Amino acid sequence: MTIPEDHPRYRSLVTREHLAACARSGIVALEGLTAHGRGEAFDYLLGERTTASAAEAERVAAALLRRAQHPVISVNGNTAALAAPLLAPLQRATGAFVEVNLFHRTEERANTIAALLTQHGVAVLTGTPERLLPLSHDRALCLRDGIYSADVVLVPLEDGDRCEALRAMGKQVIAIDLNPLSRTARAATLTIVDELTRALPLITRAAETLSDEECDYLTRSIDNRYFLKSALEEMKQGLTHGLD
């Protein structure tokens, strides 16, 4: 359909159309459309903007990735559909590996997503996935020299059980999740409560500009409860203002 550019929800509607097209092409699972809609609802409460606490969390995320020995960005279908062009700059700024990891997994879908990322300049890890994570579903499948060996994993749009599993394995997990009440948000080392396409460029910019001393300072003590509580306060204010 043609969406008029003066429509008040133009960007949201364009994104929805794009995700629907990606679902038809096999990049996005149909279940991922529901997940996106749930995230949009939380973003309304934030005023569809990056809050001060989210911007701070994005700087901490950049510092964690810069300081990591083996950072990995885990990419699912929604992340690829929404942000494929944003991942190559982040990869260059942080030196992170990129691995495709899916809940609704088929080899064809994984290959389609990897091809999309490659088209946008991302160096995607290749190899034969093994069932290396303590999970009963296919997100347990990962590469031995990728997620399994990572010390820091960036997990945009994550499921809570894998986040919990990664934390139990001793890894630091950076989540990008608009729902501060989710299991992912609560289990992660650091949660960025922001929309994915706003968050990734800010993490990249910080990774490019932070000094080593600033990275050390930002990663010295991470209080994820502060970031979650700040996001909830912002949402409460958004709800209150919406009813005024």
Mean pLDDT of 119-139: 93
Written in H, E and C, the secondary structure of 187-230 is: HCCEEECCCHHHHHHHHHHHHHHCCHHHHHHHHHCCCHHHHHHH
Mean pLDDT of 128-132: 94
Q: Is 95 within the bounds of a domain?
A: yes
pTM: 0.90
Q: Is 105 within the bounds of a domain?
A: yes
Task: Tell me: pLDDT of 243 over 60.
Answer: no
DSSP state, 8?
Answer: T
- Residue 242 or 159, more confident: 159
Q: Which domain holds residue 134?
A: 52-240
* pLDDT score at 128: 93
Give yes or no for a contact between 45 and 154, defined as CB atoms under 8 angstroms apart.
Answer: no
Mean pLDDT of 191-215: 97
Task: Tell me: pLDDT of 114 over 80.
Answer: yes
* pLDDT score at 8: 66
Looking at the structure of the chain, the number of domains it has is 1
* pLDDT score at 4: 67
* pLDDT score at 10: 58
* pLDDT score at 234: 94
Task: Tell me: pLDDT of 38 over 70.
Answer: yes
Q: Is 25 within the bounds of a domain?
A: no
Reported as a pLDDT band with limits 50, 70 and 90, residue 171 is very high
Could you read off the pLDDT of 9-32 as tens digits, one per residue?
757 777 788 778 878 888 887 777
Task: List the beta bridge partners of residue 130.
Answer: 142
Report the C-alpha gap between 43 and 50 in whole angstroms.
Answer: 9
CATH assignment at residue 62: 3.40.50.12640
Per DSSP bridges, beta strands 130-131 and 141-142 are antiparallel
Report the C-alpha gap between 69 and 42 in whole angstroms.
Answer: 33
Q: Which amino acid is at 127?
A: G
Give yes or no for a contact between 185 and 193, defined as CB atoms under 8 angstroms apart.
Answer: yes
Report the C-alpha gap between 202 and 154 in whole angstroms.
Answer: 14
- Residue 124 or 31, more confident: 124
Residues, the chain = 244
Reported as a pLDDT band with limits 50, 70 and 90, residue 125 is very high
Residue with tokens 């209080």: 223
Give yes or no for a contact between 201 and 185, defined as CB atoms under 8 angstroms apart.
Answer: no
Interhelix angle 77-94/10-24, rounded to 10 degrees, is 100
What percent of the chain is modeled with pLDDT above 70? Answer: 96
Mean pLDDT of 190-202: 97
SS3 4: coil
Report the C-alpha gap between 146 and 88 in whole angstroms.
Answer: 17
The CA angle 151-58-36, to the nearest 5 degrees, is 90
Task: Tell me: pLDDT of 83 over 90.
Answer: yes
Q: Is 130 within the bounds of a domain?
A: yes
- Residue 97 or 78, more confident: 97
Mean pLDDT of 71-92: 95
* pLDDT score at 22: 75
Q: Is 198 within the bounds of a domain?
A: yes
Q: Is 14 within the bounds of a domain?
A: no
Report the C-alpha gap between 110 and 105 in whole angstroms.
Answer: 7
Mean pLDDT, the chain, rounded, equals 91
